Structure formats: structure tokens, C-alpha cells
Amino acid sequence: MSLFDHPDYDEHEELHCFRDPASGLRAIIAIHSTALGPAAGGCRRWQYASNDAALADALRLSRGMTYKNAIAGLPLGGGKSVILEDRDTVKSPELFAAFGRAVDSLGGRYITAEDVGITVDDMRLVRRETRYVSGLPQDGQNAGGDPSPWTALGVFLGILASAKTRLGVDSLAGLRVAVQGVGNVGMHLCRLLHGAGAHLRVADVNRRNLQRVRDEMPVSESAPNDLLFSDVDILAPCALGNILNSETIPRIRARVIAGAANNQLAVAADGARIADQGILYAPDYVINAGGIISVSREYFGNGSEDKVRADVHRIPERLVAIFEESSRTQTPTNEVADALARRIVDVGAAGKPVDQVA
Ligand code: NAD
């Protein structure tokens, strides 16, 4: 199979493989689109089941970033990088230096930041080799630092808007919310949900992360494989993608699915499966844009934390517009969002202001 026939290839502009034997780095950087600006998207470090799984992840995640940045109104295209781990890979300064050189070699067409398996300290190491990096330690009141609290805030506000739309409530007090994955975003989200009076059910494959949330607030737990099917009002996927598919969807009991994980739907048709079951799905790349909003203001040096907060507070109105169009046209929410994102990119590509479309 050639790359151009790959099921996840979608007119990507560039695809790069990097290997640095000295540090053990093996990485893929996918640039999906630069129509709206330099391609931006985090770096994921993961032990993939196969090289093809890593390639598919880079292709899908980078396209998702194009859509995410477009709908968030950012002057950024979509890209993503993955660092392939294996049992022998050591997370070292040399590894991130080699990754930084790889990013730098693209001359600013790709801007990196944190994603799964990457910390602010890792990005500081990358910064020694390239300026095309964001998510660095905060400088005073300027935007910056770990994007995950902003992602969590956007998801929390999106959950509120989704609950109002589907459950007709103005508050999360007393609602049962299942959070899959209590890592960087999931942990911050649990704090916000707990503060709003929700009852939490959580799962994680990482015992340390589970203990961290248990130490801070009352939660009930499920085995990672069972959490999706819990008897809850809201399901918030905050781990990895592809979890909503033809096998899992029929067993989901929540009435709202709204979480941070990228690529939650295994295939686009899963959006219709979810809608047919009467579940409201908040498109992942719309609700989880808080982190890239912070990354963007940090990178361009055009904003304070307050501006980031104000931008993140606009996520619910975008979601509600998508929910309304979905209801009016009887089209699944993911299809409404995809079509909107493509329109924005097309208009941007034609050199017209993005706000003429949105
Ligand atoms: P993270 O690595 O800090 O946390 C992910 C957590 O999920 C980990 O605790 C991990 O052990 C857990 N996990 C993995 N597989 C699991 C499974 N099968 N069941 C339960 N738990 C499992 O990553 P993060 O930064 O919190 O990101 C979480 C998700 O949100 C990812 O899909 C990421 O792409 C997406 N996202 C993150 C950001 C951000 O700002 N960090 C922004 C947008 C989207």
C-alpha cells in the first residue's frame, strides 16, 4: 500500500520520518495543512502496537489539528508529531534534543507542544534546539506553560453546555460523570467537576494517576474496560482515541459524551451511531481546543492568561452552534463540525478572512 492510498491519508501536505540512532529517537511529523498558518499540534510519545499504528495516529491527529485550529479561529494550520517508544527507549535529554532538531529542520512549518506522554520539561529541552515550540514555562502573566489545565477548562465548560442541551440542566450538581483517563487533562477536569458537585467515576491504566485523584476527592472506580459502559449521565473520554466504535457504542448508557481525548470516533460513521442512540456527542476537536488556544497566544506572544481564559470561554458557544445545526438538519454533530472546519479552511486557503464563514 502506498502512503497516498493509506485510509487515513487526507491530502496531507507533508509527512516526515526521523531517526537518530545515537538517542534512539524514531519520530513522525505529519503536516496536514498550512492553509491558515503554520501547522501546530502537540507531540505524542507512545508505545505503539505497530509502526502502522503510529503512522495512522500521526495522520489522523494532524488532520484533527487542522479542524481544531480552524474552528477555534486560530491563525494556525494542523500538524502533529509522534515519538515511537519501545521497551528499550530511554526518555533522555538527547532524545528531545534530536526531536528538537527534527522540528527545526522544517523551518517553522510545524510548531510543537505537549501531548500524551510529554511534559513542560521535555519541551524545555526541545526549545534548546528550535524556536518552533510552545507550551514552555510561563513568563509572568503572559500565556504559556502546560496547556492541559486550559484544555480541561474548555472541556468542563463544554460539558456544562452539553448537559444543558441534552439534559436540560444548568448545573452539574448531582450528575454522574465518568472520566476515562486521569492524566494531565483528566485530573484537572476531575477537580472542576468535583467542584461543581458532580459524582465522579474514574478509570486509568496508570495506578499512580488513579491514586492521585483518589487522594484528592471522593471517586468511584471502574476497570478501564468497563468505564465506558457505566450507568452515568455523562461520559468524558480523556485517555486515547478510537474508543467510540461499532462495538462500544451500543453498550454506552450515558446521554452525553464530552471529553478531551483526540479522535474519539474510530470512523466518522460512528457519529451517526451515537446520534441514533439518542446520545449527544461533543465533537472532540471543538471541545478540547483550550490547550491549543493557550499554545497559540504563547507562541505569537499576543496575550495574557486573561485573554486565554476569555477565548476558552467561547468554546461552549461554538459547541452550541454545532448542536443547533445538528438538530435543525438532523445531521450528526461530528459531520456538522467537519463540514464547518472544511469551509473555514477553504475560505482561509482562498485568502479571505476566516470570520466570514464561521
Ligand atoms: P496524559 O498522558 O497526561 O493522560 C492520559 C491518561 O490516560 C494517562 O493517565 C493514561 O494512563 C490513561 N490511559 C491510557 N489508556 C487508558 C485506558 N485504556 N483506560 C483508561 N485510562 C487510560 O495525556 P493528556 O495530556 O491528559 O491527554 C489526554 C487526551 O486528551 C489525549 O487524547 C490527548 O490527545 C487529548 N488532548 C490533550 C490536550 C492537552 O492539553 N494535554 C489537548 C487536547 C487534547
Asked whether residue 355 carries a pLDDT value surpassing 80, the answer given is no
To test the ligand 1 pocket, which listed residue (43, 67, 116) has its Cβ within 8 A of the most ligand atoms?
116
Q: Is any ligand 1 atom within 6 A of the Cβ of residue 287?
A: no
Strand partners, 84: 46
Q: Is any ligand 1 atom within 6 A of the Cβ of residue 209?
A: yes
Q: What is the CATH number of domain 3-127?
A: 3.40.50.10860
Distance separating alpha carbons of residues 53 and 241, to the nearest angstrom: 12
Which residues belong to CATH 3.40.50.720 in the chain? 148-288+318-341
pTM: 0.95
State yes or no: is 164 an active-site residue: no
Q: What is the pLDDT of residues 13-47, one digit of tens each?
A: 999 999 999 999 999 999 999 999 999 999 999 99
The residue with cell 451515537 is 274
Q: Is any ligand 1 atom within 6 A of the Cβ of residue 259?
A: no
Instruction: Domain 148-288+318-341: give its CATH superfamily.
Output: NAD(P)-binding Rossmann-like Domain (3.40.50.720)
Q: What's the chain's length in residues? A: 358
Asked whether residue 329 carries a pLDDT value surpassing 80, the answer given is yes
Confidence at residue 354, expressed as pLDDT on a 0 to 100 scale: 57
Asked whether residue 350 carries a pLDDT value surpassing 80, the answer given is no
The mean pLDDT value for 227-232 works out to 98
To test the ligand 1 pocket, which listed residue (46, 115, 295) has its Cβ within 8 A of the most ligand atoms?
115
Which residues belong to CATH 3.40.50.10860 in the chain? 3-127
Confidence at residue 356, expressed as pLDDT on a 0 to 100 scale: 53
Asked whether residue 185 carries a pLDDT value surpassing 60, the answer given is yes
Q: Which of 58, 24, 34, 71 is nearest to 282 (CA)?
A: 71
Confidence at residue 47, expressed as pLDDT on a 0 to 100 scale: 94
Distance separating alpha carbons of residues 148 and 109, to the nearest angstrom: 23
- Contacts of residue 341, defined as CB under 8 A and 6 or more positions apart, other chains included, come to 66, 67, 68, 70, 71, 285
Other C-beta atoms closer than 10 Å to the C-beta of 356 total 10
Asked whether residue 357 carries a pLDDT value surpassing 60, the answer given is no
Q: Is any ligand 1 atom within 6 A of the Cβ of residue 239?
A: yes
Confidence at residue 234, expressed as pLDDT on a 0 to 100 scale: 98
Nearest residue CA, atom 18 of ligand 1?
A: 224
Confidence at residue 343, expressed as pLDDT on a 0 to 100 scale: 96
Confidence at residue 88, expressed as pLDDT on a 0 to 100 scale: 77
